Each structure stands twice: as structure tokens, then as C-alpha cells.
Amino acid sequence: MAYIDVPITHEMLEVAKQTVDQVKVNRTVASPYDTLAGLLGEMAVAEWFYGDWRKHDLTNTKGKADILDRIEVKTSAFPFRDTLNLLVREDYAAARRPECYIQVIIDQPDRYSKSIEPGTIARISGWATSDEVDQAPRRDFGSKGGGSGGYQCHYIAIRNLRDMNTFPIEWQP
């Protein structure tokens, strides 16, 4: 499986931190920096997809898919391994149908990290169609702090995602 590694720069981190309050949604969060990680995941995909993360408007994605209103970026901050899962909340999957989902893992030094530092790798790990997500099994993955997460997620292990070399959507400038 070919992964795409995008180093998180100091500038990316600062822009993401400044944007968190503008895009934060009222929902269950698994860690204190979920929104920050999500923004950095979008920026990493934009860097790969457009060739420049600055071409992506982080503040204009509420109610629609993250990139071109066709691609939903799902991001988790954990030490990378291919047994991690693309997780899509059941309620989200029912409400929206992007053409595809891309999984990004912010490759943290350990699962209890409390911050994301410049130089950390955002690994674009694979993709799946909405139909594949809808057909995937579901379960409650709990919260990073322990206990129930309170919602069901469709899940597909990274090792079972489609390779980024087969990604079908192209950007037309």
C-alpha cells in the first residue's frame, strides 16, 4: 500500500490553531485536539491534491464534504499502524454521501500525546467510496479517555482501504 506523508509545518499548525474556533462543531470529541487534527488532515490532503494547502478554504466546509464538496477527509491522531480504522459515524454517513472518504493519520509519538508538533507526519493512508463505508460493519469505538463513545461508527481497517495511487478524482485548475 502506498501512503502519502505530508510533514506538518509550523505555518500549517499556526493557521489551523487560529481556525479551530471558527469551525468547531458541537459534537462528541475523542480528544482535546480533535478539531485541530481534523484541520491539519484537510491541509495535508490539500497539499497533496492541489500542491499547496493554502488553496483550501478551511472555513467553508460546514454542511458539505471537505474538498470540492466531493471528498470527505477523516483524520485521527495516533501512532500509525495499518490496523487503525477509517471511522465514519453512522449518523454522518446517513446524512451525507461524499464520493469518497480519505483517511489521514497524524502519526503521534504515542496515543496519549496532548499536542501536535511541527514536523509531525500526516499520513494519507487510503480511501473508500461512500458505498463501501455504508456496507462496512459498525460498532462503538469508545472514547480516548475510556468508556463508551455514545455512537456507532462504520469502520474499515487502513490495510483494507484503497491505495492512494488509485484515487479517482482529479483537480482541474
Q: How far apart are CA 35 and CA 17, in angstroms?
A: 9
Q: How far apart are CA 167 and CA 140, in angstroms?
A: 29
Residue 35's pLDDT band (boundaries 50, 70, 90)? confident
Residue 51 lies in a domain: yes
Q: Is the pLDDT of residue 59 over 80?
A: yes
Q: How far apart are CA 98 and CA 35, in angstroms?
A: 20
Binned at pLDDT 50, 70 and 90, residue 28 comes out as very low
Task: Express as a percent the part of the chain with pLDDT over 90.
Answer: 65
Range of the domain at 47: 4-166
- The answer as to whether 172 is a domain residue is no
Domain count along the chain: 1
Q: Is residue 173 part of a domain?
A: no
> How far apart are alpha carbons 147 and 142 in whole angstroms?
5
